């Protein structure tokens, strides 16, 4: 009986030891989360990036570990994946075309040195062949080491680790407006106000990553027709190669800020004489100063127009359907309308102006630019393509609500 007890005791000891050893080996005792993931307190670490507190001797050069996401840019035909609007599938280096021998050998070496890994397409909705992919390792590895060995792979176009961990929102930044539709306060794109740099309330220092607005020249980026509510994305590399200066300009913007995608504003508009057929929204991967981005976009030779499409508006302080201000007034009639409306604008502002129409979800659905030469002007808009519902018209700081009922 005593012998059996001793055997059970020994088995129990080694079981506990094995469990403890596994727990210690999984995450090094020197590792700590680089930042806690607490978005409500503006601290972000969705990928659980770790800092090695023992190996880090210089706070400016921390020793970091991560499993995901490492970014690689493959040759265009190395990994052919069918187009999907939202593909969450994971792929493997073995799915690479067998003709890319050096590339396959390089990824196999990565697997042997670190761990098995999966590959995910960065933009599965892009119709054209896109070489941008994310890599996720099965185990934690030193970030610099992984990037170093990935960079050694012959045939790989680009390698980098996109740090999503950190105090990614500057401590001086605050939401320009809260996104609280119930109280008529809208900020769907999370536009940020730099409270430290803003010294004049009339000249706010703002940061955003989407949506910048550009109008391309005729023939620069031809996209097949699609329904209006389609999400059609492209990249500056899809711009016709004859537009050399335009392509060079967008490449400089990408180099200065970050990679970006372009979304066609009106996918169903194929009339090249219409500005709407050449209008695109731009979305960056990171936050940047709005004025700075627009400045560099406007420097692109051949670009017809560049601006920022501000969708952050505090409607509550601007909407007034009952009171009238004769010095700065907008009237919409009829209201409700069957789709065609007249806009009576009275103010002392002259020159180029823009009318923006937003739907009930505060997504911009239409833009109209005009030149105002007199104090009063009446503009007729055909919005019959819009569905029934509540809409908002924005002209400068003035916003009016109207209804379409067919």
Determine the pLDDT at residue 388: 85
Find, among 331, 349, 359, 360, the residue nearest to 396 by Cα.
349
Determine the pLDDT at residue 370: 87
Structure tokens at 272: 């090249």
CATH assignment, 320-404: 2.60.40.3080
Q: Rounded CA gap, 114 and 107, in Å?
A: 11
Q: Rounded CA gap, 342 and 332, in Å?
A: 6
Determine the pLDDT at residue 48: 86
Q: Rounded CA gap, 299 and 214, in Å?
A: 12
Determine the pLDDT at residue 41: 59
Per-residue pLDDT of the chain (406 residues; tens, 9 = 90+): 445 444 444 444 444 333 333 333 356 888 988 877 766 555 677 788 898 989 988 777 789 999 988 988 888 788 876 654 444 567 888 988 889 999 999 999 999 999 999 988 876 655 455 577 889 999 999 999 999 999 899 888 888 887 766 544 566 778 888 777 666 677 888 888 888 888 877 788 898 888 999 999 999 999 999 888 888 899 999 999 999 999 999 999 998 888 999 999 889 988 888 888 899 999 998 888 999 999 999 999 989 899 988 777 665 444 444 444 444 588 899 988 998 999 998 887 777 788 988 877 667 889 898 888 888 889 999 998 888 888 888 887 778 888 888 8
* Angle between helix 290-298 and 244-256 (nearest 10): 160
Q: Rounded CA gap, 331 and 384, in Å?
A: 19
Q: Rounded CA gap, 181 and 316, in Å?
A: 10
Structure tokens at 345: 């604008």
Determine the pLDDT at residue 13: 40
pTM score > 0.85 for this model? no
Q: Rounded CA gap, 31 and 29, in Å?
A: 5
Determine the pLDDT at residue 322: 43
Q: What residue spans define the domains of the chain?
A: 33-161, 180-313, 320-404
Q: Rounded CA gap, 64 and 70, in Å?
A: 13
């Amino acid at each position: 009986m005593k012998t059996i007890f001793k055997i059970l005791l020994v088995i129990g000891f080694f079981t506990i030891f094995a469990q403890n050893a596994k727990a210690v080996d999984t995450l090094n005792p020197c590792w700590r989360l680089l930042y806690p993931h607490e978005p409500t307190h503006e601290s972000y670490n969705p990928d659980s990036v770790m800092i090695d507190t023992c190996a880090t001797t210089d706070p400016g050069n921390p020793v970091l570990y991560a499993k995901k996401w490492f970014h690689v840019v493959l040759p265009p035909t190395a990994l052919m994946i069918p187009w999907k609007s939202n593909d969450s599938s994971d792929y493997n280096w073995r799915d690479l075309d067998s003709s890319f021998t050096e590339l396959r050998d390089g990824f196999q070496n990565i697997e042997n040195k670190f761990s098995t890994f999966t590959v995910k397409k960065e933009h599965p909705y892009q119709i054209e062949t896109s070489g941008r992919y994310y890599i996720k390792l099965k185990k934690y590895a030193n970030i610099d080491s992984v990037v170093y060995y990935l960079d050694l792979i012959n045939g790989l176009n680009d390698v980098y680790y996109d740090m999503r961990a950190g105090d990614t929102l500057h401590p001086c930044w605050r939401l320009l407006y809260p996104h609280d539709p119930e109280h008529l306060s809208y900020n769907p794109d999370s536009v940020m106000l730099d409270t430290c740099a803003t010294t004049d309330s009339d000249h706010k220092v703002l940061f955003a990553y989407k949506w910048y607005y550009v109008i391309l020249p005729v023939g620069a980026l031809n996209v097949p027709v699609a329904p209006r509510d389609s999400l059609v994305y492209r990249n500056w590399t899809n711009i016709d190669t004859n537009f050399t200066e335009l392509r060079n300009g967008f490449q400089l913007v990408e180099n200065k800020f970050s990679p970006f995608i372009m979304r066609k504003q009106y996918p169903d508009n194929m009339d090249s004489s219409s500005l709407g057929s050449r209008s695109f929204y731009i979305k960056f991967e990171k936050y940047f100063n709005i004025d700075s981005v627009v400045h560099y976009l406007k420097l692109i030779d051949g670009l017809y127009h560049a601006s920022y499409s501000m969708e952050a508006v505090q409607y509550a302080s601007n909407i007034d359907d009952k009171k009238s201000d004769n010095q700065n007034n907008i009237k919409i009639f009829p209201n409700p309308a069957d789709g065609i409306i007249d806009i009576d604008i009275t103010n002392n502002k002259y020159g180029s102006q823009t009318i923006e129409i937003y739907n009930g979800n505060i997504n911009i659905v239409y833009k109209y630019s005009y030149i105002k030469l007199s104090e009063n002007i009446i503009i007729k808009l055909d919005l019959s393509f819009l569905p029934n519902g509540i809409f908002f018209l924005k002209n400068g700081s003035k916003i009016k609500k109207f209804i379409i009922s067919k």
